[in-house]
Amino acid sequence: MNTKKRIDLHNHTTLCNHATGTTEEYIQRAIELKIDVFGFSEHAPMNFDEKYRLKLKDKELYENDILSLKEKYKNDIEILLGYEVDYLKGDYILPEVINSKVDYLIGSVHFINDGWGFDNPEFIGQYKNKDINTIWEDYFEAITNMIKCGKFDIVGHLDLIKVFKFLPTKDIKTIAHTTLKEIKKSNMVVEINSAGYRKPIGEQYPSKELLELCYELNIPITFSSDAHSIDQVGLNYEKASSLAKEIGYKKCTYFQQRDKIETSF
Ligand SMILES: [Zn+2]
Ligand SMILES: [Zn+2]
């Protein structure tokens, strides 16, 4: 059977202190939108920027909440449990997170150059301190290292560094070339993340040109809204999925206990 599925694997909860709405409200909204597979991927616990992520002491609470919703709504929607894990220089990634019994782990870079939160409007001033090409190269180097560490299933918002529309003068495909080859080698999946439509850049992550490169390299994709509120659940999915189709993608991927499942979309 080749049924089409609507997938949304990257969503947050109030346990990270920068999201609103209950997990059950997210699920009800997802059902309303006819999403078939909906995954939570809370910002994983880490001894860095702790205020804006799940606390280690709440890890079980988070997991039990999602698992009980999974059971409660099993006839309406497939709910998945995951984490979005920050990759940054230093020994921050917790074995408790990496060894969790989850469906998938998203690897993301939100900090470069020794802890600069480059996607946070609060620290936007720091773009002035460094050459924009170097910033982009540093970012993609961090993504490459994240991929090489081999701990993750999904590349989170591949070109998040474009968030404020500070674009390099060098060719982006050249900057990202090594990263894309590394994704291919790793067998990881790239998410088409719709949060970018809500940001100054005004488009999905990754850009069309990078997505075309992913397609050429046969890199699988998944879909995510990166919702931090109920109204963001599934937002702009149509734009993201029609772009993927336009590029040539016919399948997308989700995970069950770290195993890949392919489906039409
Ligand atoms: Zn967040
Ligand atoms: Zn993120």
Distance 264 CA to ligand 1 centre (A): 28
CA of 3 to the centre of ligand 1 (A): 32
Determine the Cα–Cα distance for residues 24 and 71; give it in Å rounded to an integer.
12
φ and ψ at residue 70, rounded to 5 degrees: -55, -45
Would you state the pLDDT for residue 2? 60
pLDDT of residue 154: 98
- Determine the pLDDT at residue 264: 97
- The pLDDT of residue 3 is 87
CB atoms within 10 A of CB 91: 6
Pair of tokens at residue 115: 């802890």
Q: Would you tell me how many other CB atoms lie within 10 Å of the CB of residue 89?
A: 12
Q: Give the model's pLDDT for residue 172.
A: 98
pLDDT at 261: 97
Angle in degrees, CA 197, 105, 13, rounded to 5 = 60
CA of 34 to the centre of ligand 2 (A): 24
**Ligand nearest to the Cα of 84, by number:** 2
Residue 246 CA to ligand 1 center (angstroms) comes to 29
Å from CA of 2 to ligand 2 middle: 31
Place of tokens 């997505």: 211
Identify the CA nearest to 115 among candidates 103, 104, 126.
126
Mean pLDDT, consecutive 10-residue stretches, the chain (265 aa), reads 88 96 98 98 96 96 98 98 94 95 98 94 94 97 97 98 98 98 98 98 98 98 98 98 98 98 97
Quote the pLDDT of residue 107: 98
What is the distance in A from the centroid of ligand 2 to the CA of 83? 10
Task: Give the pLDDT confidence score for residue 1 in this predicted structure.
Answer: 54
